[in-house]
Amino acid sequence: MAEISTNKKKKKTVKKVIIILFSIILFFLLLAAVLAFAFQDKIADIVLNQLYKYTKVEIEHKNVSFSLIRKFPMASLQVNDIQAKDLQGKNTLLKAKKISVQFNVFDLVKNNYTIRKIEISNADLHLIINEKGENNWNIFHTKDSVQSENVSLQLNNIRLQKVNVIFEDYRQKLTISTAFSRLDAKGNFAENVFVTNISTTAFIHEISKDTTVYLSDQTLQFNAKLHIDTENDIYTVEGGNFDLDILKFIANVTLSKKDERYAIESRLTIKQADIERIIEKLPSQIIEKTSILKPKGILSATIEMEGEIGKKNKFNINGNFSCKNGSIENVENEIKLSKITTKGTFSVFIPNLLPSMKVVVDDFSAKLNQGNIFGHLEVENFVQPFVNAKLNGKLNLEDLHNFLPTNYFHKTAGNANIDIIFQNKFTQLEQLFYLFGSARTVKQAKINGV
């Protein structure tokens, strides 16, 4: 009996503790709700009026709500249905369903309205560079030009959720359309020089220039460390990991402002990319050139670029590449050049893209049915390509005839040991894609060997 009585007392004690704890929590929740309601208008007026002083354009919103619970342990001021015109007043720069600015509760007790975090949800952002090179997003006054009223920005966290971003450069006729399902950036954004870690999941609707679409309908995951120096206008991406549907690569990029232009240095490393999937997403003009010969394989590459972005864009691009387990199939004759292994280098100068392009294949090997071929290939100037090739191996001539996509040979038969040096300047790029085109195309070619 004594034991039963003891258990009952314990249960009653536990019940009382639970009731007391629940009452305390309920009390603080009610207190937080009352305080938030009581000070909502005051905090909203002080914070929003001060923030709007930092902008050069008019900002409109429908309503606000303040809460000590919604983003606990931070206090939050939520602004709903906010809209801001761009600097020229012609377009809507930002339209957001919800923007939340967050404070430390203890700062508020001291009448110190220091914004620590910003979240933007369900928004559309339209960034434009006009024909004069002027951007539409430079809408903020400098910090020193605005008188502070206990409101300051000491951001260490920025989050975007469901934000659509359209970037248009009218001079370059460039359009980038993306949708960020989530983006997180952490760092001491109040400093002029700081490091931030950024990660995002996004969807690339389209990247196009003029009327050519270079990339579309791609999921992107990205994380990197950004070094930002606003005093000297130097911005660096360190170890940026980009994960697209068609390939993955690591990027290190430095962008620095010099007068009215930006100097750029970058290094991209691509590992284990599927050539077939990449070609499927290339512009239609390029896909048409591979309609007969279908390449496949695993590509790895390193690309280095130096140049400048401004009124005139200039880039020197160099790199090396390798391909394993490759193949090129003639889909008309159902014959395949298989087990392709190759490595080489390339270089190009922009804006003279095709004339300056050079590709060197240092080591090439492949099988054509039972035959084997090895060689070295150099191609310069992709407007009127000059080709220098060295080939050797053993092939069945009928297989070679069937593989070539044009009637270069009238009739072939038998096996052949090949040891050839071939040099020729093609009059058009298309003739190179069709492997010598016609007999007339190569009548000036220099060919030695057996």
The model's confidence at residue 26, banded by pLDDT at 50, 70 and 90, is very low
The model's confidence at residue 27, banded by pLDDT at 50, 70 and 90, is very low
**Has residue 370 got a pLDDT over 90?**
no
**Has residue 339 got a pLDDT over 70?**
yes
pLDDT the model gives residue 316:
93
Q: CB-based contacts of 251: which residues, under 8 Å, 6+ apart?
A: 224, 237, 240, 242, 266, 267, 268, 269
Top-confidence residue, 18 or 384: 384
pLDDT in tens, 102-125: 877 676 666 777 778 889 999 999
**Has residue 40 got a pLDDT over 70?**
no
Tell me which H or E stretch contains 176.
strand 174-187
Tokens for 383, please give them.
């407007």
Read off the pTM: 0.71
pLDDT in tens, 433-448: 444 444 444 444 444 4
pLDDT the model gives residue 2:
52
Q: Are 378 and 390 in contact (CB under 8 A)?
A: no
The model's confidence at residue 31, banded by pLDDT at 50, 70 and 90, is very low
User: Environment class of residue 77 by beta-carbon count within 10 Å: exposed (0-12), middle (13-18) or buried (19+)?
Assistant: buried
pLDDT the model gives residue 267:
95
pLDDT the model gives residue 346:
93
Whether residue 73 is preceded by a cis peptide bond, meaning omega within 30 degrees of 0, is yes
Cα 167 from Cα 175, distance rounded (Å):
6
| For range 264-281, the mean pLDDT | 88
**Has residue 35 got a pLDDT over 60?**
no
Q: Which of 85-94, 262-271, 360-369 is the most confident on average?
A: 262-271
How far lies 374's CA from each of 294, 368, 392, 393, 420, in Å? 20, 11, 5, 6, 11
Cα 166 from Cα 175, distance rounded (Å):
7
Top-confidence residue, 245 or 411: 245
Q: CB-based contacts of 416: which residues, under 8 Å, 6+ apart?
A: 394, 395, 396, 397
Tell me which H or E stretch contains 236.
strand 234-244
**Has residue 432 got a pLDDT over 80?**
no
| For range 65-81, the mean pLDDT | 76
**Has residue 174 got a pLDDT over 80?**
yes
Cα 124 from Cα 126, distance rounded (Å):
7
Tally the C-alpha atoms within 13 A of residue 51's C-alpha that lie toward its C-beta: 20
pLDDT the model gives residue 149:
59
pLDDT the model gives residue 300:
93
pLDDT the model gives residue 5:
57
Q: Where are the alpha helices (DSSP H) in 126-196?
A: none
pLDDT the model gives residue 391:
83
The model's confidence at residue 305, banded by pLDDT at 50, 70 and 90, is very high
Q: How many CB atoms lie within 10 A of CB 390?
A: 17
| For range 315-330, the mean pLDDT | 90
pLDDT the model gives residue 441:
45
At 37, the amino acid letter reads: F
Cα 278 from Cα 99, distance rounded (Å):
38
- Whole-number average pLDDT of the chain: 77
pLDDT the model gives residue 74:
75
